[in-house]
Structure 1
């Protein structure tokens, strides 16, 4: 492990203390797991403490751990993962926080800390159903307003729940139950008589 990663890990442990669940270094990257109840406070410290100075949020996404490790995963189902960049120190950090409940996944919004989190959090809400406490405009961003469910959840049906089509009689788009029929496709192999033989 490089000296820079050792220094970053030491700074994180010093500044965040008991707010940290774990610190891991793998493949040249540091990943921390934050306790959900301290997520917003930890984000403020990550940005404002001069020894860390993570002033830029690069990415934020949701993760569904259903059936992770072939169903052997014993932790919470939903997590929010953020990637941060410190321009002052030229180092990166991955931050993971698990929602306390699987049925009502809720974590604090970090939009007051990094304004760019706005659309990222809306995307995580839309695709995974993760709620962000304190977000000013938490609504769907990629799916239709009438969409039912959250399509990136691992228990969401591949074919979806409804389909939409244009109805020429009504002269508008209508929703209807999915009409895709499940079928098994068996590939047909065709070989020439002389295939693979002498020319």
Structure 2
């Protein structure tokens, strides 16, 4: 395993060079971070270069880093992480990129490079509000088309903003402000000293 990772690391460093902003090798895995301006070019190189040949995108997801590991985060807020597989060389790499603007997170779409990115990018757009420039069909995929906000953002309220229900009088689904009452979410075992006869 170590020899294969050594070979992959050497190939990545030789082919991508200065475009790798951060290189991390932990737990038998390699993670490279690139800038948003280089993202699409690096993705194309990872797929097409004979020494790398990452033919498949296995997964792509968005992350809200605003309170990473419950700590204050001093960096860009939105991160996109892709997991790539080379069937030819039988190795994997994790590719990370940060959206340069926290207010309007935009990065290039890698759907033209790997068409498996299509629904992954739509999910990331839907849940985090990350815009993939060049995506041909960027629309919500999990939430309702009328949904307001992006529910996986860390500043999105757990109960949401609106709820929908069927109204028998009007015979249609209606939206209304959330009527859920906030409640104590601390487990009873922790709240009560004498729970279960324990003293």
Answer with 1 or 2: which has the greater Rg.
1
TM range (shorter): over 0.9
Once superposed, which parts of structure 1, at least 4 consecutive aligned residues long, lie more than 3 Å away? 69-72, 185-191
Which ranges of structure 2 fall in alignment gaps of 5 or more residues? none
Matches within 5 A, 1:139-158: 139-158=139-158
For residues 58-88 of structure 1, give each alpha carbon's deviation from its aligned partner in whole angstroms, at most 9, with x where no partner exists.
0000011011244432110001000000001
> 1:10 maps to what in 2?
10
Tell me, in whole angstroms, the C-alpha distance in 1 between the residues paired with 2:74 and 2:162: 33
Separation in 2, partners of 1:115, 1:183: 44
Q: Which runs of 5+ in 1 are unaligned?
A: none
Tell me how far apart the structure 2 counterparts of residues 163 and 190 of structure 1 sit (CA, whole Å).
37
Name the SS for the 1:120 alignment partner: helix
Residue correspondence of structure 1 range 18-37 to structure 2 within 5 A: 18-37=18-37
Higher helix share: 2
- For the aligned residue pairs, the C-alpha RMSD in angstroms reads 1.6
Deviations 1:113-153 (A, max 9, x none): 00110000000000000000000000000000010100001
Aligned residue number for residue 123 of structure 1? 123
Distance 1:183 1:125 in 2: 31
The structural deviation recorded for 1:184 is 2.4
